[in-house]
Amino acid sequence: MGLLRFLLAAVLLLAAAAKLRAGTRGRDALRSYGFGSPRVRAGLWSGTIAAEAGLGAALAAGVPGAAEGSAALLGLFAVALVVAIARGRTGSPCGCFGGRSRIGRPAAARTAALAGALAALPFLPDAHPSTDAWLGIGLAVALVAVAGLAVAVLALARELGELRMAVAPQAALSLEHEGPELGSRLDLIERFERAAPLAVAVFTSPGCALCTALEPSLRLVASDPEVELELFDEEAEATAWRDLAIPGSPYAVVLSADGDVLAKGTFNSLFQLESLLAHATRPVSA
């Protein structure tokens, strides 16, 4: 009974890890069961993973009622598969063991067999494995747990990567009527040593939390030998702010060594500031 209990617990944990690893494909598989709302699918996907992982851990620990609860959960899954088959969804993604699992009679039979084994588990004789057997079981469970944890970490890393790719960073906000006119020549260049090809005038304000948060990014840009960066405080450099019609902070104006305005815009991240530099250095099309 002990070995069977651990094996069934491992199946539940592996199923939870496979669903987590499937990520978006696992959530989308719930469409096969008639769940069209993305929010509902995300909730069911998260709840199923939590239920399988929790019941698997409880079953491995010998918690009373864990076998019955697991049998009820898998029985519900088996019924859902049978209903989906009856609705003509055979061959559609089922999300049982990741994104590649498919709805069909084999999946329903497998799920029903696991539910039956879990239901019968409390009625099996309670054998007492030897010390060596317990050590082997413990080692197997530890290896399964490590494998599951590795799968979960990889799945989370992939989810984060997909999220970062989906939320593309935005360029700096550059409006024609704000700040100096592109291509105009500014006397502001006299405030720079002009030892680098590009001069960046960054306009900040006292009490600007975003300006303070961007200080490490500004230091990083200033360390570039191709860039000379100077700060212009709204209070200390009020005249420059007024003459150049600076709309707010943080704001950057990229100048050539001759003082020509190459790029300008409001920024709130290192990427956006670098986008201004990239715009200033891009080749001019004929």
Q: How confident is the model at residue 286 (pLDDT cuts 50, 70, 90)?
A: very low
Distance in Å from the first CA to the final CA of the chain: 80
Specify whether the CB–CB gap between 268 and 261 falls below 8 A.
no
User: What's the average model confidence in pLDDT over 188-195?
Assistant: 90
User: What's the average model confidence in pLDDT over 225-239?
Assistant: 93
This prediction has a pTM of 0.45
Q: Residue 151's Cα: distance from chain center in Å? A: 15
Above 60 in pLDDT, residue 284? no
Domain edges within the chain: 2-166, 187-281
Q: Cα–Cα distances in Å, from 256 out to 178, 195, 224, 261?
A: 19, 11, 15, 7
Phi, psi of 248 (to 5 degrees): 170, 180
88-92, 130-134, 168-172, 213-217: least confident range? 168-172
> What integer pLDDT is reported at residue 61 of this predicted model?
81
pLDDT per residue over 54-105, tens digit each?
A: 888 888 888 888 888 888 988 898 898 899 888 888 888 888 876 677 888 8
pLDDT per residue over 237-277, tens digit each?
A: 999 999 999 999 999 999 999 999 999 999 998 888 998 99
User: What's the average model confidence in pLDDT over 192-197?
Assistant: 88
Fold of 187-281: Glutaredoxin (3.40.30)
Phi, psi of 126 (to 5 degrees): -85, 90
CA pair distance 100, 92, nearest whole angstrom: 10
Specify whether the CB–CB gap between 265 and 252 falls below 8 A.
yes
Of 12-16, 143-147, 212-216, which has the strongest mean pLDDT?
Answer: 212-216
98-112, 140-154, 213-227, 263-277: least confident range? 140-154
pLDDT per residue over 96-118, tens digit each?
A: 876 677 888 888 888 888 888 88
DSSP string for residues in 106-164: HHHHHHHHHHHHHHHGGGS------HHHHHHHHHHHHHHHHHHHHHHHHHHHHHHHHHH
CA 217, 223, 229: angle at the middle one, nearest 5? Answer: 75
